[in-house]
Amino acid sequence: MKKLFFISLSIFLLVSINCFAQNNLSPFKNEKGSLDIAGGTAHIPVLKEAAQNIMKFNPDIRITIGGGGSGTGIKKVGEGLIDIGNSGRKPTENEIEKYNLSMYKWAIDGVAVVINTNNPVSDIDTETLQKIFSGKITNWKELGGKDASINIYTRDEASGTRDVFWKKALLKGDISQKAVFISSNGAMKTAVSKDDNAIGYISVGHLDDNVKGVSLNGTYPDLDNVKSGKYTVSRGLYSNTKGEAKGLAKKFIDYIYSEDGKKIIKSKGFIPAER
């Protein structure tokens, strides 16, 4: 009898969860059409899963998710080339005015310094980090590591991840011309994981066992420290539209703010933001 009760309870909970998810997706029931999204790469894991849920619920909807960096996302949506442009920074006043942007901040993220997992270094202070990225400190042995040259990896100037890292971690200090440019958070993680002497930076939401997160001024870059404000190299994740969001774009953004969307955001290592 007890076994039967637990089976019935499990079925009830499964049906309830399923119905809840369906309610979040119900606005897409009779929709048809396409939605093109591009820009910041930190956003991609969240938006891809959201898009898959929507397209599975309604196969008449096609959603494409691309990268290119925050600057690219803002420019493309402003020029009407895409429906939603993602940015890992708040668009500037000039961009908002020029493109008539509406901004939707749906998550809070941190930007973490990362090194190879074989590197024994675990903590760097701001001054030392500035010297590393400017090329004034060039060998890991100066930081307690092995006798090997430091290989710097960075993002291009269209990257919102770079913008936040440069302003809040490097305090607008120089980045060496010898730094290797990487196209996305995912590519940065791959590059650092394959280079024992690498240093770079990625979204906290992308941190995993493939790379080693480094404490900055004694504070480790995890979600708890980002949420509390103890880890200060943080930013919002924005989806931007030209004018107020409408049609499929509005429904997609509404879904990201829904309870279902918040679960996806948390599962990808970010902190949901209130609308």
pLDDT tens track for 58-116: 999 999 999 999 999 999 999 999 999 999 999 999 999 999 999 999 999 999 999 99
What pLDDT is stored for residue 13 in this prediction? Answer: 41
Find the mean pLDDT for residues 112-138.
98
Q: Going by C-beta distance under 8 Å and a sequence separation of 6 or more, which residues neighbour residue 227? A: 108, 271
Domains and CATH numbers, the chain: 19-109+236-272 (3.40.190.10), 110-234 (3.40.190.10)
pLDDT tens, position by position, 236-260: 999 999 999 999 999 999 999 999 9
Q: Which of 66, 193, 150 is nearest to 202 (CA)?
A: 193
Q: Is the pLDDT of residue 224 over 50?
A: yes
What pLDDT is stored for residue 23 in this prediction? Answer: 82
pTM for the model stands at 0.80
**Torsion angle, alpha carbons of 248, 252, 253, 258, to 10:** 140
**Strand locations in the chain, DSSP E?**
33-39, 61-68, 84-87, 101-115, 123-124, 151-155, 180-182, 198-203, 212-216, 234-242, 271-272
Helices 247-257, 259-267: axis angle to 10 degrees equals 70
Q: Is the pLDDT of residue 47 over 50?
A: yes
Q: Tell me the pLDDT band of 22, cut-offs 50, 70 and 90.
A: low
Q: In one letter, which amino acid is 23? A: N
What would you measure as the largest C-alpha separation in the chain, in angstroms?
72
pLDDT tens, position by position, 150-160: 999 999 988 99
Q: Is the pLDDT of residue 11 over 70?
A: no
Q: Could you tell me which residues are beta bridge partners of residue 203?
A: 111
Q: Going by C-beta distance under 8 Å and a sequence separation of 6 or more, which residues neighbour residue 188? A: 114, 153, 155, 182, 200, 201, 202
Residue whose token pair is 């302003």: 167
With contact defined as beta carbons under 8 Å apart, do 165 and 142 qualify?
no
User: What gap in Å lies between CA 131 and CA 125, rounded to an integer?
Assistant: 10
User: What gap in Å lies between CA 123 and CA 120, rounded to an integer?
Assistant: 10
Computed over every residue of the chain, the mean pLDDT equals 92
Residue whose token pair is 């076994």: 3
Q: Is the pLDDT of residue 7 over 80?
A: no
Tokens of 49: 């899963």
